[in-house]
Amino acid sequence: MAIKEKVVIITGASSGIGEETAYLLAKKGAKLVLGARREEKLRTVQQTILNQGGEAVFQVMDVTKPQDNTSLVELAKKVYGKVDVMFLNAGLMPNSRLSELKMTEWNQMIDVNLKGVLNGIEAILPEFIKQKSGQIITTSSVAGLKAYPGGAVYGATKWAIRDLMEVLRMESAEEGTNIRTSTIYPAAINTELLSTISSEKVLNDFQQMYAQYGISPDSIARIVAFAIDQPDDVNVTEFTVGPTTQPW
């Protein structure tokens, strides 16, 4: 299998999609390098993997800080000697209507959802260019494909990721660096995202929707595994994933 022995960095690895992806890839023989802000949760994820016979290290980091991203890449190289995949998964979704003028939350989403991905790309791209191989996977959202009230800024960050990743794929093909890219657009996945919503009305609407339609984050973990498991000369650019019953 293409996953076995690959070194995979995961940001936002302490819960939700990142956590489930770490567990699944470890079972398939990948070597994990986990990054997030919450040390205790990271330690729990790592210990679970080790207890099951897998390999994982972690580092507390904030994707909004360029040096933290660079340090995570350096940790991977120090422990495992290389990096094969970087899964840029950290994200926030404090949705609100524009009329609420939640500028602080707007900036947080831009910093984490967009700049955080850029920081990760900046950290890993020199390595992938040098070795002429590598894979970058990002977690976008169906909000990066369609607009909806209450999701203007969140959606804007996720639309931006779509363009960013496609251009990265195109430029890599032109430059002969063989970097594979995949962008995942999840719909209602039961993670901690809703906990960041401070707008009472928007939160209520989303809680009702997720209670009706939400599915487990391990469904996205399987998509990540599928993308990694493709042959090196095959790139699957985009995955739109969600509950069968959700009309999106």
Cβ–Cβ under 8 Å, residues 243 and 188: yes
Q: What six digits make up the tokens of 149? A: 């009230």
d(CA 109, CA 114): 7
**Closest to 27 in 3D by CA, of 57, 58, 3:** 3
Q: Where are the alpha helices (DSSP H) in the chain?
A: 16-27, 39-51, 66-80, 103-109, 116-131, 152-175, 200-213, 218-228
Q: What six digits make up the tokens of 245? A: 């019953």
152-161 residue pLDDT tens: 999 999 999 9
pLDDT recorded at residue 1:
52
CATH topology of domain 7-239: Rossmann fold (3.40.50)
Q: What six digits make up the tokens of 103? A: 């500028």
Strand, helix or coil for residue 214: coil
115-165 residue pLDDT tens: 999 999 999 999 999 999 999 999 999 999 999 999 999 999 999 999 999
**Closest to 236 in 3D by CA, of 166, 142, 155, 160:** 166
Residue 134's alpha-carbon distances to 95, 150, 164, in angstroms, are: 33, 36, 17
**Closest to 226 in 3D by CA, of 238, 215, 216:** 238
| Boundaries of every domain in the chain | 7-239
Known catalytic residues?
A: 154
Mean pLDDT to the nearest integer, 174-185: 98
Tell me phi and psi for residue 189, to 5 degrees.
Answer: -115, 130
Q: Is the pTM of this model over 0.85?
A: yes
pLDDT recorded at residue 248:
78
Mean pLDDT to the nearest integer, 183-210: 93
Strand, helix or coil for residue 53: coil
218-228 and 16-27 helices cross at what angle (nearest 10)? 50
d(CA 191, CA 109): 17
**Closest to 11 in 3D by CA, of 180, 224, 231, 178:** 224
**DSSP assigned state of 146:** S
Residue 108, pLDDT > 60, answer yes
**Closest to 7 in 3D by CA, of 56, 69, 60:** 56
| 27 φ/ψ sector (left φ>0, alpha ψ -120 to 50, else beta) | alpha
d(CA 2, CA 160): 30
Least confident interval from 63-67, 116-120, 170-174, 205-209: 205-209
51-96 residue pLDDT tens: 999 999 999 999 999 999 999 999 999 999 999 999 999 999 999 9
14-34 residue pLDDT tens: 999 999 999 999 999 999 999
Q: What percent of the chain has pLDDT over 70?
A: 100
Q: What percent of the chain has pLDDT over 90?
A: 96
CA Rg value for the chain: 17
d(CA 154, CA 205): 16
